[in-house]
Chains A and B, each alone.
Chain A
Amino acid sequence: MTETVPGPTPGTTRISATPAARRAIAALRDELGGPVMFVQSGGCCAGSTPMCFRDGEFLVGDVDVLLGDLDGCPFYIDARLDDAWGRGHLLLDVAAGPPEGFSLAAGAEDRHFVTRSTGCAAATP
């Protein structure tokens, strides 16, 4: 199952964003004076959440797939993770709580980015 997965066809995108996520991206762009980047995480603790960095902070490798671009901000996922996740379409959203890892917050200090599968209704606990 860990065979190399080809990236998406050029011009296609498998990421979109809710209005709240787009507002957070705009706020971050204003604050930082430039674009951010998103990298989908996996594994322990805050795994499964997308990490947000100043664009270029995370060294993207050949193993990473560009899912698309959100208002000039690229969204990447490890191709192996993408394969395990079924190469679906992801929706970037914002949720309550501070960010994990080294991620930037989603605009405000106590908000963080999340990804949802567009096949599922956004769940609220």
Chain B
Amino acid sequence: MLYVPPGGAGSIVTVAPRYENFIGGKWQAPTRGHYRFDVSPATGNPITEVAYSSPEDVELALDAAHAAKDAWGEASAADRAAVLLAIADRIEAKAEMLAVAESWENGKPVRETLAADIPLVVDHFRYFAAAARSEEGRTTEIDKDLVAYHFREPLGVVGQIIPFNFPLLMAAWKLAPALAAGNCSVMKPASPTPWSILKLMEVIEDVVPPGVVNVVTGPGGEIGKALATSPRIAKIGFTGETVTGRLIMQYAAQNLIPSTVELGGKSPNIFFSDVMAHDDDFLAKAVEGLVLYAFNKGEVCTCPSRALIQADIYDEFMARCLDRIAAIRQGNPLDTETQLGPQVSAAQLEKITSYVAIGRAEGAEVLIGGQRAHIDGEFAEGYYFQPTVLKGDNRMRVFQEEIFGPVLAVTTFADDDDALAIANDTLYGLGAGVWTRDGTRAYRMGRRIKAGRVWTNCYHQYPAGAAFGGYKISGIGRENHRMMLDHYSQTKNLLVSYSDKPLGLF
């Protein structure tokens, strides 16, 4: 199926000429009146204009959030859960429209946004509605007359900075727990992908109380910084690269507020010999598991960008994988047959190209791909890169640095210890994959890999309820699990004496 691009005749996505900030339940023009084009990476052509906001607009959003925070924070868990469920219902009803908008702005194939991004967004809000509703405080009987009651109270107004690779899903990952815990949010979308989140606001604006969710678009150096440094936020959440992660923590330290940061990875995907013990569904699944490095064009923090293959199966297993990679269909992201869309920006495309050059200079062998992909017709100016595999060794830069493109670095290992040593020889520790028919080996490897998420005989699944977050420099904090309510609340303890007797000290 082929969807019409947003704004085109017959498209299911309407496009206004320009989009303002969503503040206090209303659409508000940026104070300084500046806008900038929002471009589709498939064509390089503008979709619309979005607000190019300034710090004054962040202050307006903070005003609105602070005005809303007491009522929202005091709303019953049932009422908050009802709002989250209403958000989920609205999104589900508009899933196809949002999937097309997300695909066109980010470049990710619509088959992915239809099957993964948007359904996961819907489920995420429902999961946190359930989490909010089923939350219980703990009570400790210190002695028969002294009782400690523990209540979870919201932080107040939180700042949330969203990455460009899963604009709607990452917004949901941050928004749902914050709202479930009773906070109001001021959100800054990524500069390359502000529009789909604004479309999301159109869908949910009349089911969210004014001021509970506020979205301000514009340059990170001005409004991202204004939000992160503001003494008016009680917590900051961020997903992105390491230097901004450190700045976020630096600003949070200066304001003495908590932060959670998710900062990427260079995830190993390990294939043991026994995956080839039979030619069956499991082997086909493992082959697809390797090819998942091209999921979302490789623009995934957990991209399985290092494949570690046991040496005795390397030739045969890799041959099967290369056949599958060669069959990847690139092109119009709005064609449900397309498997690989354009990179999000020209800058990303250039970065990926330069990394392949670095790999070649280091002596890596290009097994497939290796250059910009040229698509005919209206997508000739799109930011497409061929699915690429580089064979080399783990000390090469292409094995150590997050390329954020459809570029796989592959190497071999001898045994379990060798696989583990290579897997852990990285600064990062976000994701990992282990593929084997031997459950004991899978368990032992999974426990010894230094990463927050070890997919075992699967990869790239992100169900709500499975905690997600980094070891090592991949970040601090977890998402996607009810433990997030801890990150978005503070504990109130009432220590209550039921004794009438004085202490007797004075």
Contact = CB atoms under 8 A, between A and B. Distances in A.
Interface of A: 1-2, 39-49, 51, 57-59, 78, 80-81, 84-86, 95-105, 109, 112, 114, 116-117, 119-125
A81 B240 CA distance: 16
Given A86-B397, A119-B361, A120-B361, A43 B402 contact: yes
Closest 9 CB pairs of A and B: A44-B264, A43-B264, A97-B347, A101-B244, A41-B243, A47-B241, A84-B400, A123-B354, A41-B241
A49 B265 CA distance: 15
B163 interface: yes
Contacts of B262: 44
Contact of A125 (B191, B372, B473): B372
B428 interface: yes
Contacts of B228: 102
23 contacts: A39-B243, A40-B243, A41-B241, A42-B243, A43-B301, A44-B163, A44-B264, A44-B402, A45-B163, A45-B241, A49-B241, A58-B247, A58-B250, A85-B400, A85-B401, A95-B350, A97-B345, A101-B224, A102-B221, A103-B220, A123-B350, A123-B356, A125-B372
B242 A100 contact: no
Interface of B: 163-165, 190-191, 219-221, 224-225, 228, 239-247, 250, 262-265, 299, 301, 345-347, 349-358, 361, 372, 383, 385, 395, 397, 400-404, 425-428, 473-474
Contact of A44 (B219, B263, B385): B263
A114 B244 contact: no
A12 B239 CA distance: 35
A74 B62 CA distance: 35
Given A44-B241, A45-B190, A101-B240, 11 more contacts: A46-B241, A47-B401, A49-B241, A59-B250, A85-B400, A85-B401, A100-B244, A114-B351, A116-B354, A117-B358, A117-B361
B473 A43 contact: yes
Contacts of A123: 350, 353-354, 356-357
A77 to B, nearest CB: 10
Nearest to A41: B243
A85 B397 contact: yes
Of A40, A41, A47, A116, chain B has the most CB atoms within 10 Å of the CB of: A47
A119 B354 CA distance: 11
Contact of A84 (B191, B345, B351, B427): B427
A100 B242 CA distance: 12
A120 B402 contact: no
A45 B426 CA distance: 18
Nearest to B303: A44
B354 A44 contact: no
A2 B426 CA distance: 9
Contact of B244 (A51, A59, A122): A51
Contacts of A104: 221
Contacts of A98: 191, 219
A2 B427 contact: yes
Given A1-B425, A47-B401, A48-B402, A114 B350 contact: yes
A116 B350 CA distance: 11
A97 to B, nearest CB: 4
Given A2-B427, A46-B241, A102-B220, A125 B350 contact: yes
Contacts of B219: 98-99, 105, 109
B201 to A, nearest CB: 22
B240 A44 contact: yes
B349 A120 contact: no
B243 A80 contact: no
Of A39, A42, A78, A84, chain B has the most CB atoms within 10 Å of the CB of: A42
A105 B357 contact: no
A100 B188 CA distance: 13
Contacts of B354: 114, 116, 120, 122-123
Contacts of B351: 48-49, 114
Nearest to B249: A59
A24 B361 CA distance: 28
B428 A43 contact: yes
Contacts of B357: 120-121, 123
Contact of B346 (A51, A86, A96): A96
Given A42-B241, A86-B397, A105-B221, A58 B246 contact: yes
